Structure 1
Amino acid sequence: MPKLYNLHIIIAEDDLDDADIICESFNKNPDFVKVSLVPNGEELLNYLKDNSNETPDVILTDINMPILDGIEALNEILNNNDLKTIPCFVYSTSINPVYKEKCDLLGVKGYLIKPYSIEDFDKIPKSILSMI
């Protein structure tokens, strides 16, 4: 697979510490040139529907977030003709098979388990690149 360049990813993450770590991991990866962050699924949908924002190349969302969770947001995204072609990924501390099944049924490209070490967070961009 050829190397990808100049990707824009939007990340929905409500935990500030996790948000800092995951954004840093993508900023360190040269294939991702823009990293946008929103705090929940509702803000993710608002960002995507705002025509003044650049459409991202990739979406990564946590599942458990306030206001609108990741699965609810992905349900809207992946059932929207203008957005459903954007590769979507989930990362979560939950290994609940019900969540994974819901994501698979929606057409999510990958379900990643949130790592416990900072070094393992750096593997997430590479994992996503291998699945797009």
Structure 2
Amino acid sequence: MQNLIATYSPIKILLAEDDLDDQFIFSDTIKQLSTSIELTIVNDGQGVLDVMRSNNNFIPHIIFLDVNMPKMNGIECLIQIRRNKILKNTPCIILTTSTAPKDIEETYNHGANLYFEKPIGYTDFVKMFNKLFEVNWADYFPPKRESFFIAKTYQ
């Protein structure tokens, strides 16, 4: 797999995020990008599984998961994604405020491809997306430990 822009148009993104402000910033940033993107938003990990069960034709090209969500958190959802034969090779990005070593290690061990500390504003979101769109995903299955966690410097 190459980078997302070279491989898909539009790029189908599935975001699992319970915070409405974060959903808005994520969505608003995507609208400003020149890349063609279809965004689906769910409020928790269970929503990811529900979308996949209800629409067999929808297969996201990339999944963003918050760690701390109600019903099913991002780690529990990640475990289910990696067990799913259709989704197991889909890039999964952890996008969270948590920088707890336990969360970083656990998501790495369960097959997340990248772990981003949540950007604060529009500019950092754009930098994050630019980084994601240039990644060669073949290098992130599995990711190298030293390139897995990315804090607020997205360049």
TM-score (ref. length: structure 1): 0.90
Q: Which residue of 2 aligns with 1:80?
A: 84
Kindly report which structure 2 residues correspond to 1:13-92, keeping only aligned pairs within 5 A, or say none.
13-92=17-96
Amino acid at match of 2:108: D
Q: Which residue of 2 aligns with 1:8?
A: 12
Going from structure 1 to structure 2, the CA distance change for 1:96 and 1:32 (only over 3 Å counts) comes to farther
The alignment-based identity, stated in percent, is 31
In the alignment, the residues of structure 2 paired with residue 109 and residue 30 of structure 1 have an alpha-carbon distance, to the nearest angstrom, of 24
Aligned residues: 132
SS of match in other structure, 2:21: helix
SS of match in other structure, 1:78: helix
Q: Which residue of 2 aligns with 1:128?
A: 132
Q: Which residue of 2 aligns with 1:113?
A: 117
Amino acid at match of 1:68: M
Amino acid at match of 1:61: L
Deviation at 1:71, TM superposition (A): 0.8
Unaligned runs of 5+ in 1: none
Q: Which runs of 4+ in 1 moved over 3 A?
A: none
Deviation at 1:102, TM superposition (A): 1.1
TM-score (ref. length: structure 2): 0.77
Deviation at 1:6, TM superposition (A): 1.7
SS of match in other structure, 2:83: coil
Unaligned runs of 5+ in 2: 138-155
Deviation at 1:83, TM superposition (A): 1.1
In the alignment, the residues of structure 1 paired with residue 90 and residue 53 of structure 2 have an alpha-carbon distance, to the nearest angstrom, of 13
8 Å Cα contact 2:25/2:121 also seen in 1: no
RMSD of aligned alpha carbons:
1.7
8 Å Cα contact 1:62/1:90 also seen in 2: yes
Deviation at 1:118, TM superposition (A): 2.5
